[in-house]
Structure 1
Amino acid sequence: MPDPLVRDATTDDAAACAAIYEPYVTGTTVTFETDPPDAAEMRRRIAKAQARHAFLVLEEDSAVVGYAYAGPFKERAAYRWSCEVSVYLSPDRHGRGGGRRLYEALLAQLKARGYRMAAAGMTQPNEASARLHAAMGFEPIGTYRGIGWKFGAARDVTWVQRPLGDPVTPGQDPPEPT
């Protein structure tokens, strides 16, 4: 069997990405969305992420089985070198290295575009996500207690972050992300 392929997503991948994401929305607290996005909304999200950050898919046997993307951490100008990242895999692909492959490629693209910091939020408990992020060099920075509400209970979200690239000389702004 050939190695899975990580590639830039296109809007043609929207239906597959929406199908991967739907069970996370409807059956887990991994995401705080409550209504699964349809293919049209996922096309919009892919295009938006590709314009300034990145959106990648994992393909096995010509089928999309996972995706990872980045978006702005916050909208204010001071955060423009930071981004928030996420990864989702088809349930039958967990624990097979796909998340790592996606994140390796995603973080490399973000670094090449000039981003300096990646952050991710993980609804608790989520040991699999915590292991993946730790393996990718993310460090815990704190937990928001009871910050979100889903399935009848308040949920905690732990945040992790990882630098992208070498430190910048104090007193100088890094080059603008492209």
Structure 2
Amino acid sequence: MPSGTAEMQVRAGIEADLENLTTIYNHYVRETAVTFDTVVLTPQERRPWLLSHPEDGPHRLMVATAADSQRILGYATSGPHRPRPAYVTSVETSVYVAPEAVGRGIGTLLYGALFEALAGEDVHRAYAGIAQPNEASVRLHEHFGFRRVGTFQEVGRKFGRYWDVAWYEKPL
């Protein structure tokens, strides 16, 4: 069921969103160290990712749209934390906002909807890795009750330099 404000709505992601979601993600691939992907992806390459987020269960894709135009403003996901069976009740979460929509509260709206959707699922913990520095992402995660549990030093190399990733955890 969609939720949101007068300006924005949040709903589950659908296959018709794939091109727009890929465009948003590729901005972060090209311009930032937020993701450690280094080559832009095609919608067809992203399709398995989209299909791994059904409308129910612990692995969700929530999409924020402009209420007047249905233009995608951002998305939040929960996905597997690690592939081994004992990790099944842990998820890794992330938020990506269209560059022209940053600073409008979309990340907060998306995470609120994502955690509401996860409330009835068999999920015990949520984790988020935040490439440093990224104060806006740190504030968002702390707002939702995540706490820092450690940092992987110089764990990723992108744009000719090494990046630290701070790990955050939230009980669900």
| CA shift for structure 1 position 3 | 2.8
- Identity among equivalent pairs (%): 39
**Alignment partner of 1:70 out of 66, 78, 96:** 78
In structure 1, the residue matched to 2:50 is: 46
In structure 2, the residue matched to 1:34 is: 38
SS in 1 for 2:155: strand
1:152 alignment partner AA: G
In structure 1, the residue matched to 2:64 is: 58
Identify the range of structure 1 (10-19 vs 37-46) with the bigger mean alpha-carbon deviation: 37-46
C-alpha deviations, 1:106-146, integer Å up to 9, x for none?
A: 11222312111100000000011011111111100000001
In structure 1, the residue matched to 2:14 is: 10
**Alignment partner of 2:129 out of 93, 98, 121:** 121
2:60 alignment partner AA: A
Moved over 4 A (4+): none
In structure 2, the residue matched to 1:176 is: none
Q: RMSD over aligned Cα, in angstroms?
A: 1.4
Structure 1 unaligned blocks of 5 or more: 165-178
In our comparison, the structure showing a higher alpha carbon Rg is 1
**Alignment partner of 2:167 out of 159, 163, 173:** 159
CA distance, structure 2, for counterparts of residue 143 and residue 114 of structure 1: 27
Identify the range of structure 1 (5-14 vs 108-117) with the bigger mean alpha-carbon deviation: 108-117
- TM-score normalised over the length of structure 2: 0.91
Query: How many pairs are equivalent?
Result: 164
1:102 alignment partner AA: L
